[in-house]
């Protein structure tokens, strides 16, 4: 291994961290590497906003991406790094950022509002490679290169950057940090081994579950019989995570939207599903099929007339589903009867986009159960809801994946209660009855109307709880007591969340993000 690789992997702070780790493990008894998929280095980072200059390995840093989006992701990391460098090296650091210019959908306004993103001049990513090479001709010698979307950046730039790396003497080489959005992309197979063999790369996922998934992928590749992989020491590629949550407190609508939500006494009325219109990502077809069935059962519970075509009844605060994203609308499979009840928003600029999500009562993930958003890909829907203080209707699986979420940011439903049924519970203040006809008679598929139902429901008075009793495809309390306990907790907790609690939860995320930035600068 080169002197460069040793200097990056075995420098003094890392040895100190390792010794502390060993000491803690001895105190704590048995330990298995397999039940801690990601190293927990948060405890070793300095807690202040600055670092001692003697601890900093990297203070000449470039950020770039060839991808024409994801500004909110890597500019958030660049902003965190910038704030720490400013307090550590007020006038003696290099931080250059390259993006696709002009930024689409008026994202520059989001940058200018002091949302925690990088502040300063940004250069077109079309100039990045030439500028980066020139930096070694002028003696600027960047030591760290952060690629914001390695799924795109490595195929575009990886070979050229590797040639440059190989041409430099050891004391002038650079370290690459790869941002991971989706572990399923093929760039890892084609590019990572070359960088890992040189001891010159580390990765970060934009959510902990992405980092864990990527860590598992690296361990699998490291165990491969292919010489390209098993000789690359892939199991020692450091994997971390950074959750790009913007701080929208300075947006012009923030105060008025927050006050309006706090003062509102209306029932649950507006929910949003945000993201590309693709069935592989979200189960639109099943969601709207269940929505149509629920309205058929009781249109007035949703604020509509009893007969087709369903018309809104203003006094009942009619329920509306908003779809925000891009793509072909025919991908959504919306039944004709409910199409007038859906509002579709496409090609909305970022400032308006954030405001609209902030005005929603709830964000509904509607993730495809077999898609990647739970295991290897991070959803922008979750991040945007957190940024906008809009609670997320989350099941246990989503909470387990997006570990930065908390009770302050979510409304947790049991998975046995479908999203539409959970929304009806929250809107009407009533729990459904089980559609079993007896304790030993689960409903059969395609069963007709049920007259003899088991009624264990809890009813809260919210103005809509005098609706007719309704059923859901769930076991009775006697057969699933934990399910019913979870439903009662969800109902009693309601769908409103405190802005103060949400801001406090986000502060915890930002603190952990800054700790990751410090680890980058320290090289640990």
CB 434 within 8 A of CB 478: no
Give the number of C-alpha atoms closer than 13 A to the C-alpha of residue 104, restricted to the C-beta side. 8
Backbone angles phi, psi at 517, to 5 degrees: -60, -40
- Is 211 found in the same domain as 145? yes
Query: Could you tell me the CA-to-CA distances from 429 to 231, 272, 395, 396, 489 in Å, in that order?
Result: 60, 20, 19, 21, 12
| pLDDT at residue 45, rounded to an integer | 36
Q: Does residue 232 form part of some domain?
A: yes
Q: Determine the structural domain holding residue 283 and report its residue range.
A: 254-403+410-417+481-496
What does the DSSP assignment read for 137-201? HTT----EEEES-HHHHHHHHHHHHHHHHHHS-GGG--EEEEEESBTTSTHIIIIIHHHHHTT-E
**Strands lying side by side in the sheet with 392-394:** 342-346, 320-325, 270-274, 362-363, 392-394, 410-412
The answer to whether residues 235 and 258 belong to one domain is no
Shared-domain flag, residues 129 and 201: yes
Confidence at residue 444, expressed as pLDDT on a 0 to 100 scale = 67
Task: Tell me if 144 is assigned to some domain.
Answer: yes
Q: Are residues 70 and 91 in the same domain?
A: yes
Instruction: Determine, yes or no, domain membership for 78.
Output: yes
Measured CA to CA, the distance from residue 249 to residue 114 in angstroms comes to: 9
Number of domains in the chain: 2
pLDDT at 446 (0 to 100): 44
Largest CA distance in the chain: 83
Claim to verify: residue 349 and residue 276 sit in the same structural domain = yes
Same domain as 299, residue 185: no
Q: Is residue 108 part of a domain?
A: yes
Contact 140, 60 (CB under 8 A): yes
Q: What is the pTM of this model?
A: 0.87
Residue 447's pLDDT is: 45
In whole angstroms, give the CA distance from residue 163 to residue 2: 16
Residue at 464 is within a domain:
no
Q: Read off the CATH number of the domain in which 184 is found.
A: 3.40.50
Residue 86, domain member (yes or no): yes
**DSSP string for 311-346:** -B-GGG---EEEEEE-S-GGGG---TTTGGGEEEEE
Verify cis geometry, omega within 30 degrees of 0, for the bond prior to 433. no
CB 171 within 8 A of CB 141: no
Regarding whether 141 and 31 lie in a shared domain, the answer is: yes
Residue-level pLDDT at 23 = 39
pLDDT in tens, the chain (524 residues): 443 443 444 333 444 434 444 333 333 333 333 333 454 434 333 344 567 878 899 999 999 999 998 999 999 999 999 999 999 888 889 999 999 999 999 999 999 999 999 999 999 999 999 999 999 999 999 999 999 999 999 999 999 999 999 999 999 999 999 999 999 989 999 999 999 999 999 999 999 999 999 999 999 999 999 999 999 999 999 999 999 999 999 999 999 999 999 999 999 999 999 999 999 999 999 999 999 999 999 999 999 999 999 999 999 999 999 999 999 998 899 999 999 999 999 999 999 999 999 999 999 999 999 999 999 999 999 999 999 999 999 999 999 999 999 999 999 999 999 999 999 999 999 999 998 888 877 876 544 444 444 455 555 545 554 555 689 999 999 999 999 999 999 999 999 999 999 999 999 999 999 999 999 999 99
Whether residues 175 and 268 share a domain: the answer is: no
pLDDT score at 452: 44
Specify the pLDDT at position 180: 97
Strand partners, 61: 95, 144
Expressed in percent and rounded to 5, the helix, strand and coil fractions of the chain are 45, 15, 40
* DSSP line for 89-130: -TTS-EEEEEE-SSPGGGHHHHHHTTSSS--S-EEEGGGHHH
Let me know whether 102 and 127 are in one domain.
Answer: yes
Same domain for 116 and 45: yes
Q: How many CB atoms lie within 10 A of CB 54?
A: 6
Query: CA-CA distance, 147 to 87, in Å (whole number)?
Result: 24
Please tell me whether residues 229 and 354 are part of one structural domain. no
Identify the CATH number of the domain in which residue 350 sits. Answer: 3.40.50.2000
Cβ within 8 Å of residue 479, ≥6 positions away: 436, 439
**Is there a single domain that holds both residue 219 and residue 299?**
no
- Closest Cα partner for 70 from 149, 133, 145? 149
- Per residue in 108-121, is it b (16+ CB within 10 Å) or e — as a string? bebbebebbbbbee
């Amino acid at each position: 291994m080169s002197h460069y690789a040793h200097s990056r992997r075995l420098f003094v702070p890392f040895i100190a961290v390792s010794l502390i780790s060993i000491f803690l493990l001895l105190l704590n008894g048995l330990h298995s590497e397999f039940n801690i998929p990601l190293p927990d280095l948060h405890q070793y980072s300095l807690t202040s906003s600055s670092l001692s200059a003697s601890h900093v390995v990297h203070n000449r840093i470039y950020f770039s991406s060839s991808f024409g989006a994801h500004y909110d992701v890597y500019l958030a990391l660049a902003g965190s790094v910038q704030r720490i460098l400013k307090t550590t090296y007020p006038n003696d650091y290099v931080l250059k950022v390259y993006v696709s210019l002009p930024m689409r959908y008026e994202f520059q306004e989001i940058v200018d509002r002091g949302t925690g993103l990088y502040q300063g001049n940004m250069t077109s990513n079309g100039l990045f490679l030439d500028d980066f090479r020139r930096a070694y001709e002028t003696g600027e010698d960047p030591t760290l290169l952060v690629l914001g979307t390695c799924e795109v950046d490595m195929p575009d730039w990886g070979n050229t950057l590797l040639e440059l790396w190989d041409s430099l003497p050891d004391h002038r080489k650079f370290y690459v940090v790869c941002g991971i959005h989706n572990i399923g992309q093929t760039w890892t197979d084609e590019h990572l081994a070359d960088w890992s063999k040189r001891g010159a790369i580390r990765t970060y996922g934009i959510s902990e579950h992405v980092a864990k998934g990527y860590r598992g992928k690296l361990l699998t590749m490291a165990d491969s019989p292919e010489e390209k992989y098993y000789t690359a020491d892939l199991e020692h590629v450091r994997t971390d995570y950074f959750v790009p949550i913007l701080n929208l407190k300075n947006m012009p609508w923030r105060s008025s939207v927050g006050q309006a939500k706090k003062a509102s006494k209306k029932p649950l009325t507006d929910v949003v599903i945000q993201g590309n219109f693709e069935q592989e990502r979200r189960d639109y077809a099943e969601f709207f099929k269940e929505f149509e069935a629920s309205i058929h059962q009781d249109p007035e519970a949703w604020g509509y007339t009893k007969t087709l075509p369903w018309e809104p009844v203003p006094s009942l605060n009619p329920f509306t589903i908003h779809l925000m994203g891009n793509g072909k609308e025919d991908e959504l499979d919306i039944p004709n009867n409910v199409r007038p009840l859906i509002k579709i928003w496409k090609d909305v600029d970022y400032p308006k986009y954030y405001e609209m999500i902030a005005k929603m009562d709830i964000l509904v993930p509607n993730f495809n159960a077999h898609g990647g958003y739970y295991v290897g890909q991070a959803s922008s829907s979750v991040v945007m809801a957190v940024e906008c203080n809009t609670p997320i209707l989350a099941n246990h699986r989503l909470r387990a994946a997006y570990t930065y979420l908390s009770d302050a940011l979510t409304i947790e439903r049991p998975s046995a209660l479908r999203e539409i049924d959970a929304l009806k519970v929250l809107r009407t203040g009533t729990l459904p009855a089980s559609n079993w006809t007896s304790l030993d008679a689960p409903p059969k598929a395609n069963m007709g109307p049920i007259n003899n139902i088991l009624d264990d429901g809890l009813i809260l008075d919210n103005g809509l709880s005098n609706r007719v009793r309704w059923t859901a495809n769930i076991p009775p309390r006697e057969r699933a007591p934990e399910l019913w306990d979870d439903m009662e907790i969800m109902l009693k907790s309601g769908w409103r969340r405190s802005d103060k609690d949400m801001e406090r939860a986000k502060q915890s995320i930002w603190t952990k993000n800054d700790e990751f930035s410090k680890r980058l600068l320290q090289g640990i």
